[in-house]
Structure 1
């Protein structure tokens, strides 16, 4: 989105029309758009309002009730922090007792809004002019907060008299060349942001969940977060925003949050038992598979694979549990015969540690039965293995 389109999007006329279009679905957009133009509405205004209304509908699942009060663009929505996670970010700054937080990379301002809603003033920076215009509108309900267009690190250095005691950053990890996994390619650079932890009361940095553990300073808390099974971020926390150096996993499911912390240890491997457990991705990324195994009385099926096994299982938010029905070598003919004997016509395939993909395997199985089963392709004690399992 360019700056001119952003100005149109935040105009009273566009906001009013977008509200009228709130429940107009994709199937009706063409008809409704033509009607609005016949009624004398400018075509550019109609297009902007249609786009905004559609993005708001799409954003409801991710951003909650606030979605219908926001101005958005596609790229910003795709990168926006989920509402539940932004609330947890804000909670840390509130617990730290911060009075004003600088958001160095505010985007559409979703994290800044969550912080401001906790009674904390926010000075937010955004390098893109159009995005800054939208963020300014999104932060309008909090007059003590503001959005500045420009370089955040330079701008922060000029705020010496503004009593900033907290800093939050979500460095850009994408460019025209694609997604960046190396923290040195973040914008602003991760090391430059982390250097600020000695100058403010609280520092929080949202990074990609694939960040190498070696890139995380030992004196910071690193927390990997998953929402309904998807690992959405890792958060690095320092100062009063930290709850203790080390790694943790925060698993959010159906609105409930569960935290696992401990030493990063893969644990021991042993023979396959009656149950297979698939740790949540946040647990795996945090390096806490061994800690989870110790807590639930399980062990790895293979030293190199993040599947656990146990004789008995109890419900845990940190892993999905399956009962092992049958164990077979990973041989397509034997596997197909076993599935046909069980009248299986469809399979949900999980894989870890094997090269064979579900797309390659399904047509080779030639299944025609009536039942649906879950199939796990992995290594067990160093051998490629297929497990027929059922959810507990």
Structure 2
């Protein structure tokens, strides 16, 4: 889609087409295209059908209300930040940039379709959104206008490396980590390179760079605070923070939607101990941030194996950072033994979780053939180095200390 074709969607005719396609089933694209081309230009119909498909996909990230008012490009939607994560980051920018005054601003470099810019605008910040693609810039402007946020947005269509960040309290950089050929693994092959993005972010107060959650800890600059963010249990991204109220060298795990945030205290690795009554599965952000020791200390627990991020304890304690299971059986790994146990307990729904095991969960379920009115979870893991099975169910009842 060209910028000119996109502008057609903003006309009264384009808006009418989009409204008519709300709730449209993509399976009917051919029939809809044939019908609509009788009264509308073919390029406009194609643009509207494409936008309708993108809006339906965008619901998962932006929610139905915003998704059906916003505009997207395929690449921009794929790379955009989930609204809940963007809102969390925007709140940090707003809090840390508060000393800059009522009109505190953020320069959003590599803004894409504007997911982060929208969250920052809603947090009360003025935003300068920068992208070198003319179509993307047009989409950002349209999104801000559609959501009633255009009065505090400036869009600059340029290479981010040609745009200064002076005069803005905050700087946010989201370098592209994909090309037409797929994901880019070399940080210096990002667009712009990660080294440039880090330098630009370090000029902000605060400044932040969005990076992949798999970033090695040794690649985090000494002066940065690294934050891993999960949403609904799924790790979404990592952010490297500079300046402002940042804690240099800190490692943080933030869990959404609760907003619970755990900061590392530099604890040594937890002790390995026998499996207790409860098994705790730490959130992925906690694991990525290397904060399992902090969770184990909070739970008065230890590890089932020195290389496995499962915490075990004798007591049940409430924590936002891990999911608790009550263990009923601890057994050496064996398919026949598990099959017999599942049959004996009349387990019809068997959830298979694994860590440190090469067994395929779907294949295991097919071979065990669970049948019955009950449910259970089996953890395939190692206990003190030995392949093991832990049969459990979600812990219920009041916390016990």
Q: TM-score, normalising length from structure 2?
A: 0.88
Aligned counterpart, 2:160? 152
Structure 1 counterpart of 2:54: 55
**Matched ranges for 1:69-218 at <5 A:** 69-95=69-95, 96-97=97-98, 98=100, 99-140=104-145, 141-156=149-164, 163-218=167-222
Aligned length: 385
- Give the match for residue 357 of structure 1: 360
Instruction: State the alpha-carbon separation in 1 of the partners of residues 195 and 266 from structure 2.
Output: 23
Would you say the 8 A contact 2:5–2:44 is kept in 1?
Answer: no
What residue number does 2:399 align with?
none
Structure 1 pair 12–241 and aligned structure 2 pair: CA distance change class (3 A): farther
**The residue matched to 2:151 in structure 1 has which SS?**
coil
Shift in alpha-carbon separation, 1:389–1:137, aligned structure 2, 3 A: same
**What residue in structure 2 maps to residue 236 of structure 1?**
240
1:198 CA drift (Å) = 4.7
Aligned counterpart, 1:20: 20
Correspondence 1:299-314 to 2 at 5 A: 299-314=302-317
For the 8 Å contact 2:272–2:302, the answer to whether it is kept is yes
Instruction: Output the CA distance in 2 between the equivalents of 1:110 and 1:197.
Output: 18
Give SS of 2:68's match: helix
Structure 1 unaligned regions, length at least 5: none
Distance 1:77 1:197 in 2: 23
Aligned position for 1:224 = 228
Check the 8 A contact 2:264/2:294 in 1, yes or no.
Answer: yes
Look up the SS of the partner of 1:15 in the other structure. Answer: helix
Q: Give SS of 2:37's match.
A: helix
Task: Say which SS state the counterpart of residue 187 (structure 1) adopts.
Answer: coil
Alignment partner for residue 324 of structure 1, among 314, 322, 327? 327
Distance 1:9 1:264 in 2: 53
CA-atom RMSD, angstroms?
2.3
Q: Residues 257 and 165 from structure 1, CA distance in 2 versus in 1: closer, same or farther, beyond 3 angstroms?
A: closer
Answer with 135-144 or 297-306: which moved more.
135-144
State whether residues 56 and 70 of structure 1, in contact with CA within 8 Å, keep that contact through their aligned partners in structure 2.
yes
Structure 2 runs not aligned, ≥5 long: 396-401
Distance 2:30 2:61 in 1: 26
User: How far off its partner does 1:74 sit?
Assistant: 2.4
Summarize the Cα distance change of 1:197–1:47 in structure 2 as closer, same or farther, 3 Å threshold.
closer
Q: Does 1:290 align with 2:293?
A: yes
Q: Is the 8 A contact 1:19 1:53 kept in 2?
A: no
Q: Distance in 1 between matches of 2:88 and 2:371?
A: 48
Inter-partner Cα distance in structure 2 for 1:264 and 1:28: 56
Bigger CA drift: 329-338 or 259-268? Answer: 259-268
Query: Taking structure 1 as the reference length, what is the TM-score of the superposition?
Result: 0.90
